[in-house]
Amino acid sequence: MEKHQAEQEMDALRKELEDYGYHYYVLDAPIVPDSEYDKLLNRLLELEGQFPELITEDSPTVRIGGEPLSAFKKVAHRVPMMSLGNAFSAQDLRDFDRRVRQNVGDEVAYVCELKFDGLAVSLTYEEGRFVRGATRGDGTTGEDITHNLKTIPAIPLRLKENVMLEVRGEAYMPKHSFETLNAAKEEAGEEKFANPRNAAAGSLRQLDPKIAAKRNLSLFVYSIGELTGKNMDTHYKGLMYLDELGFKVNKEATRCESMDDVIAYTERWVEKRHELPYEIDGVVIKVDSLAMHERLGFTAKFPRWATAYKFPAEEVVTVLREIELNVGRTGVVTPTALLDPVLVAGTTVRRASLHNEDLIREKDVKLGDTVVVKKAGDIIPEVVSVLTEKRTGDEVDFAMPTHCPECDSQLERLEGEVALRCLNPKCPAQIREGLIHFVSRNAMNIDGLGEKVISQLFAHELIADVADLYSLKREDLLELERMGEKSVDNLLTAIAVSKENSLERLLFGLGIRFVGAKAARTLAEQFETMEALQEASEEDLLAVNEIGEKMAASIVAYYAKPEVRTLLAELRSAGVSMEFKGKQPRESEQVDSFFTGKTVVLTGKLSELTRNEAQERIEALGGTVTGSVSKKTDLVVAGEDAGSKQKKAETLGIELWNEAKFIEELEKA
């Protein structure tokens, strides 16, 4: 075939494939069978192979995924991608409406849009061609993920007009794609994604676009960031224009003439949300007039012309049959309710947290009780209350054991704590959980060593402590269920690579009490080698900024144990690095986190996490936790019985979250 003939055929194929893809992925109305689309795509691939100089950047073939990147580049947003303030009730929405009308008058219309549960991105087009895509990041700077976004069929690579445009949207994983992905992960013995949002974010932050291409993601656009050469006077007209350009705009977006209409819209979707083929966690309400956007402006963090209504946690009734006891890596014994299966917030729940013995007593929980269950932040199932009026007399009292359910050691309650602990360092449950922590992402980050694989290794007595991971043999691994040759080779490679980690990862992975990811980094920077840290006294440790008395005493006690010194000697013999390798980017700087660079105050009683755990999570994500509220505070997280700190935050206008919102943001990160 002559080159000019190939060029003509390739151009015709691209246009045909674009049209078929638009009808299939954007309009959800396919006009040809999949086999016809595949035949045309394969023909285009064949021609591009023969004439690579004729390949265009907007060819449908780029959706298959190109070569992997070595790292993500930073992208500065020309117009900041700000987050939204939250409303949790109809009264909150009326207060928002009142503030708007006080500034712009009573003639206000709103646009209601579903709040998609995915990853916010910006897409940039030049002369109608897609040239760059980026994550939201901190709102000012994101990461360039163009290579992954090109694999999403719902994103047009070429628009129907040659415009200069920057548009915002939400990349998400449809429910059916999520179920398929997790089924494949389970079959491979890998850790499953917790929810579609995490799966979508994880897919788009892959350096290899071929992985993203296999995840079957989609995207809705919801606003224009910048547009050259055209003027829009309302947000709703902007959505309609994006639809005309070929973008996927959600058809449930509705213009409302009053706040009563807005509230009716939110109430309707509270009931209908689970009917959708994708996850939503609320409704976004925006003033329609763009002129009013200008007049209303912004606070330091949020636009005054928009808010996000968050759905209330869904509560359901079921029966509590048993209480299971789990021993964590620190020895804490946690009770978990085993329930009759019930649908909560779109997923079937069979287990729910009971936190500790005090809570069981406080709520008077008995085996056989009819209980109310909800998901905190639509994520973590918990028992809210007992319906005592439904008791029949057959219910049975529950008492926490006096001995560890795993090793039968005496349980103890340490001074100032509500939790019962097993203090036996040889307890198999603690060892198993410690192994899972050791290989986790913020610790040694060993890919392929999920909870199921660790449990298999432990059950087959291939590992008894973390040092044993470095002496695993290929032939032993091949005997395990769902471990093929490729999986085993990848796992052994990942274990070998982890030997080169910097000291802070090893310190965090060892699970020294009170030493979180940030403290591990601080200790590694200060002492530089494991040997130096081992020999440090409490006085040496207290001289380090951010190391307090409890942590210093815990570190000294840890290194004084003979079994710890033996373990470290085994790790050293296996070739595991014991040195700090310089100021490399922290894990918290490699993820899109709300908390990065923020100063946070915790107040009141948290039910999902201890105060120390909450602080560790924030610090691992790049935030700083302080004890007092001031003008420099960015966020206050208020648990139950929050007092003066919450009031001071309200007085100073500081962002205030309840625990459910806090847990939700931790899960997003």
Q: What is the second-level CATH architecture of the domain 428-573?
A: Orthogonal Bundle (1.10)
**Which residue stretches of 77-226 are H helix?**
90-104, 146-149, 175-187, 196-204, 209-213
- Boundaries of CATH 1.10.150.20 in the chain? 428-573
CATH 1.10.287.610: which residues of the chain?
3-64
Nearest alpha-carbon partner for 290 in 255, 243, 238: 238
Residue in the structure block whose two tokens are 């509560």: 315
pLDDT in tens, 407-424: 999 998 877 777 888 988
List the single range of 23-32, 253-262, 343-352, 481-490 with lowest mean pLDDT.
Answer: 23-32
Q: Which pair of structure tokens corresponds to residue 299?
A: 């606070």
Q: How far is 70 from 87, CA to CA, in rounded Å?
A: 41
Predicted confidence at residue 205, as pLDDT, reads: 82
pLDDT at 660 over 90: no
CA atoms within a 13 Å half-sphere pointing along the CA-CB vector of 165: 29
Which of 79 and 71 is assigned the larger pLDDT?
79
According to CATH, where is 3.40.50.10190 located in the chain? 587-668
Question: Which residues are paired to 374 by β-bridges?
Answer: 315, 382
Mean pLDDT, to the nearest integer, of 536-558?
A: 89
Distance CA 25, CA 35 (A): 16
pLDDT of residue 251 exceeding 70, the answer is yes
Rounded CA gap, 641 and 637, in Å? 12
Give the right CATH number for 587-668 from 1.20.272.10, 3.40.50.10190, 3.40.640.10, 3.90.1490.10.
3.40.50.10190
Q: What is the pLDDT of residues 97-128, one digit of tens each?
A: 999 999 999 999 999 999 998 899 999 999 99
Domain(s) labelled CATH 2.40.50.140 in the chain stretch across 315-412
Give the closest residue to 376 by CA, choosing from 642, 659, 85, 667: 659
Determine what percent of the chain is predicted with pLDDT higher than 90. 47
Q: What is the mean pLDDT of residues 593-619?
A: 79
- From CA 253, how far away is CA 234, in angstroms rounded? 14
Residue 279's nearest CA partner among 171, 135, 154, 151 is 171
If you average pLDDT over residues 299-320, what whole number do you get? 87
Query: How high is the pLDDT of residue 590?
Result: 45
Please state the rounded mean pLDDT for residues 502-531.
91
Question: Of all helices (H) and strands (E), which one includes residue 16?
Answer: helix 3-21
Band of pLDDT at residue 202, cut at 50, 70 and 90: confident
The confidence band for 583, taking pLDDT boundaries of 50, 70 and 90, is low
**Which CATH code for domain 86-310?**
3.30.470.30
Rounded Cα gap, residues 141 and 136, in angstroms: 7
Distance of alpha carbon 296 from alpha carbon 303, whole angstroms: 8
> What value does the mean pLDDT take over residues 134-161?
90
Calculate what percentage of the chain has a pLDDT beyond 70: 95
139 phi-psi bin (left φ>0, alpha ψ -120 to 50, beta other): left
pLDDT of 511 higher than 60: yes
Instruction: Calculate the average pLDDT of the chain.
Output: 87
Q: What is the pLDDT of residues 157-195, one digit of tens each?
A: 999 999 999 999 999 999 999 988 888 877 776 667 767
pTM of the entire predicted model: 0.52
Backbone angles phi, psi at 496, to 5 degrees: -65, -40
Residues acting as catalytic residues: 115
Q: Which CATH number fits domain 3-64: 3.40.605.10, 1.10.287.610, 2.40.50.140, 1.20.210.10?
A: 1.10.287.610
The answer to whether domain 315-412 has CATH 2.40.30.260 is no
Structure tokens at 550: 């409890």
pLDDT range class, residue 312, cuts 50, 70, 90: confident
Among candidate residues 299, 342, 329, the one with its CA nearest the CA of residue 406: 329
Angle at 304 between CA 301 and CA 310, to 5 degrees: 80
Q: Which of 368, 552, 566 is nearest to 465 (CA)?
A: 566
Better-predicted residue by pLDDT, 410 or 48: 410
Mean pLDDT of 343-360: 83
Distance, in Å, from the CA atom of 520 to the CA atom of 543, rounded to the nearest integer, reads 15
Residue 2 confidence (pLDDT) above 50: yes
The answer to which of 186-195, 230-239, 454-463, 522-531 has the lowest mean pLDDT is 186-195
Mean local confidence (pLDDT), 540-569: 90
Structure tokens at 286: 């925006």
Between 559 and 28, the higher pLDDT residue: 559
pLDDT higher than 80, residue 614 = yes
Residues 272-281 pLDDT 10s: 988 899 989 8
